[in-house]
Amino acid sequence: MTEQEAGLRARLVSVGVDLVTQEGAQALSLREIARRAGVSHGAPRRYFPTHLELLSAIAREGFAELGAEVAEELRGGKEPGVGEEPGGGDVGPRAQLAALARIYVDFALSHRGMYELMFRHDLLESNSLGLRETSLPLFNSLVDLVSRVRPDVRAPDVAGALWANLHGIAQLWGWGSLQLATGADGVEPLVRAALDAHLGPEAR
């Protein structure tokens, strides 16, 4: 692929990211992406033979952004090594899980169109374009932290249940349902309750 072709491919993905951010996943037609990128309607097919492949490339950008936020948080909470200065606050796995949960829910609420697309694996080609390699490390980080907090459980099961709980909180809060049902004025107490439900109450 020439530099010009790589630039056009990247532009199509970038236009798709902007479009899903502004208008949601339902707006991601090949025709509209091509129009906004200033190319012919058939141009995207040269780089993405199917619509699913273009959607997957767009979703990959969302996973990369979320993954970078999580990685930065986990690096910031790393236990100090020999000769290193300790970081501030609680840097244990429970605190890291709480931070990861907040990042996940915050991302879902502030990137609603992208978030909706990212987890629609019925719409995506998860085994191509590096999408699986971009998305699975997030879950693996969750599993690792759960295993350190709850060594007595099968960590993938608890991590999966916690993820589903956080996903539900994000979706229901975004729709306005949880505010109506619980009277909560913020999502943080619900995130804490989900962590306590799956990990046990936090030690005081």
Q: Terminal CA-to-CA distance of the chain, rounded, Å?
A: 57
Instruction: For residue range 29-66, list pLDDT tens digits in order.
Output: 888 999 999 998 888 888 888 888 888 889 989 999 99
pLDDT band at 6 (very low <50, low <70, confident <90, very high): confident
Whether 125 has a pLDDT exceeding 70, the answer reads: no
Round to whole Å and give the CA distance between 50 and 86. 49
Q: Which amino acid is at 31?
A: R
Mean pLDDT over all residues of the chain? Answer: 86
Contact between 116 and 24 under an 8 Å Cβ cutoff? The reply is yes
More confident residue, 122 or 25: 25
Confidence of residue 204 (pLDDT cuts 50, 70, 90): low
What pLDDT does residue 135 have? 75
Give percent of the chain above pLDDT 70.
Answer: 86
